[in-house]
């Protein structure tokens, strides 16, 4: 399975832009990339749109050729999926010893504020599905128990 992990939110963009690292290089014409920017926003006609661009590891777009464009959509995971990649959570230990997930709490709150009860059930199922796919967590260099 080809996977991708969230690296960071790109604040300089006018919309929701995020940098992702791919588990396998993505071929674009005669070159490849392992970093992409997924950008979601509304266009001038107030239509929702998601676009994907090849980028460097710092989030600078290498080529403005659109790799994927989804109309009436703003979900990054759907754009990643259309490229054949699945977003997986990344657990990291912070300097204060806490475990941090790559899924941002603010993104969950944004989603909850926009959705119906069916959307909340879908969100619960997605979180549960992703949570049980994480097999082991490494804490202080030792393997932790399964989640």
| pLDDT tens digits, one per residue of 20-78 | 999 999 988 888 999 999 999 887 788 899 999 999 999 999 989 999 999 988 888 88
Which of the pair, 134 or 52, is modelled with greater confidence? Answer: 52
pLDDT confidence of residue 139: 43
Q: What is the dihedral of CA 16, 52, 70, 104, to 10 degrees?
A: -40
Who's near 84: CB < 8 A, 6+ residues apart? 2
pLDDT confidence of residue 137: 41
Provide the CA 113 distance to its chain's centre, in angstroms: 19
- Determine the Cα–Cα distance for residues 147 and 106; give it in Å rounded to an integer: 23
Q: For 111, how many CA atoms within 13 A lie in the half-sphere containing its CB?
A: 19
pTM: 0.64
How does the average pLDDT of the chain come out, rounded?
Answer: 75
């Amino acid at each position: 399975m080809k996977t991708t992990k969230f690296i960071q939110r790109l604040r300089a963009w006018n919309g929701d832009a995020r940098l992702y690292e791919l588990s396998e290089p993505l071929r674009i014409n005669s070159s490849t990339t392992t970093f992409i920017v997924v950008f979601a926003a509304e266009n001038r006609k107030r239509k929702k749109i998601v676009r994907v661009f090849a980028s460097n590891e710092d989030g600078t777009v290498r080529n403005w050729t659109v790799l994927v464009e989804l109309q009436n959509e703003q979900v990054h995971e759907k754009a990643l999926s259309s490229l054949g990649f699945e977003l997986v959570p990344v657990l990291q230990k912070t300097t204060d010893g806490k475990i941090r997930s790559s899924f941002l709490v603010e993104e969950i709150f944004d989603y909850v504020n926009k959705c119906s009860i069916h959307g909340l059930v879908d969100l619960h199922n997605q979180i549960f599905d992703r949570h049980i796919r994480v097999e082991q967590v490494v804490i202080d260099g030792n393997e932790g128990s399964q989640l």
